[in-house]
Chain A
Amino acid sequence: DQQVKQNSPSLSVQEGRISILNCDYTNSMFDYFLWYKKYPAEGPTFLISISSIKDKNEDGRFTVFLNKSAKHLSLHIVPSQPGDSAVYFCAASDIIQGAQKLVFGQGTRLTINP
């Protein structure tokens, strides 16, 4: 099942710089996209989401961009902080399947270097 793909398994960024995490999807029925952050031994924690009717949503240091024609979304974190080091999951929900039956990407491990 490759409906949601995060092609970079890991990313290393200097503290204070911008972190950009990418996600691609194939199912055009997806209408809502979410980013979750996961620390070891914890469950995924909701970060930010975007509806398919928007192309940008911002919340503090986190911004999600959606490019529907390219079926691509990205999460920007600026400035990056050491506490941002975690695994980031992109997830999508579709109109037909509905609801909170989320389809997840494989995750990208972000490391922020001091």
Chain B
Amino acid sequence: EPEVTQTPSHQVTQMGQEVILRCVPISNHLYFYWYRQILGQKVEFLVSFYNNEISEKSEIFDDQFSVERPDGSNFTLKIRSTKLEDSAMYFCASSIMDRVSYNSPLHFGNGTRLTVT
């Protein structure tokens, strides 16, 4: 079964550094997302992306964050200047449609654990 792949599985960085988290969505999916889960908290929506532009973003997704689809397969999340509170598990996801339905659930990758020291 096709799956969403994320690299790296674990990233350690120093506060103030830039990080790029990488994702390869499922090949025939058109909608891409980033979610994150801070330890002990809920999984929360960050941003959705379609047709090379952001379609929705949460209040968490401030100017420090950006997303890009640099080629036909990769989808990246960049954090420009990391803060301690950015430490979390970041999940990439993709879907065929933008509307949730039985035929179009969100498919998640295994996540990148980001640790900011």
Which of A43, A51, A97, A100 meets B4, CB within 8 Å? A43
> Which of A34, A97, A105 lies in contact with B42, CB distance below 8 A?
A105
Interface pair B42/A104, CB less than 8 Å apart: yes
What number of residue pairs across chains A and B have CB atoms under 8 A from each other? 72
Q: At the interface, yes or no: B78 with Cβ under 8 Å from chain A?
A: no
Instruction: Please give, as numbers and ranges, the residues of chain B lying within 8 Å of A41 by CB-CB distance.
Output: 9, 110
CB pair A99–B98 under 8 Å, yes or no, is yes
Of the candidates B42, B91, B93, B111, the one whose C-beta lies within 8 Å of that of A100 is B93
Contact A34 B99 (CB under 8 A): no
Q: B53-65 vs A: 1/0 string, CB under 8 Å?
A: 0011010000000
Q: Does A111 contact B (CB under 8 A)?
A: no
Residues from chain A with Cβ under 8 Å of B43 in the complex = 44, 89, 91, 102, 104
Docked CA distance A36–B109 (Å): 13
> By the criterion CB–CB under 8 Å, are B105 and A99 in contact?
no
Asked whether A102 lies within 8 Å of B110 as measured between CB atoms, the reply is no
Contact: A99 with B101, CB < 8 Å? no
Nearest CB in chain A: distance from B89 CB, A: 9
B48 partner, pick from A42, A43, A101, beta carbons under 8 A: A101
Measured CA separation A1–B109 after assembly (Å): 24
A23 smallest CB distance to B (angstroms): 12
The reply to whether B108 and A32 contact each other, CB–CB distance below 8 Å, is no
Residues of B within 8 A of A74 (CB): none
- Complex alpha-carbon distance, A98 and B99, angstroms: 7
Q: Would B106 and A102 count as touching, CB distance under 8 A?
A: yes
A91 CA to B95 CA, complexed, in Å: 15
Chain A residue nearest in CB terms to B56 = A101
A19 interface hit (Cβ, 8 Å): no
A-B contact pairs, 11 of them (CB 8 A): A34-B105, A43-B91, A46-B107, A49-B102, A51-B102, A99-B48, A99-B99, A100-B99, A102-B45, A102-B106, A105-B42
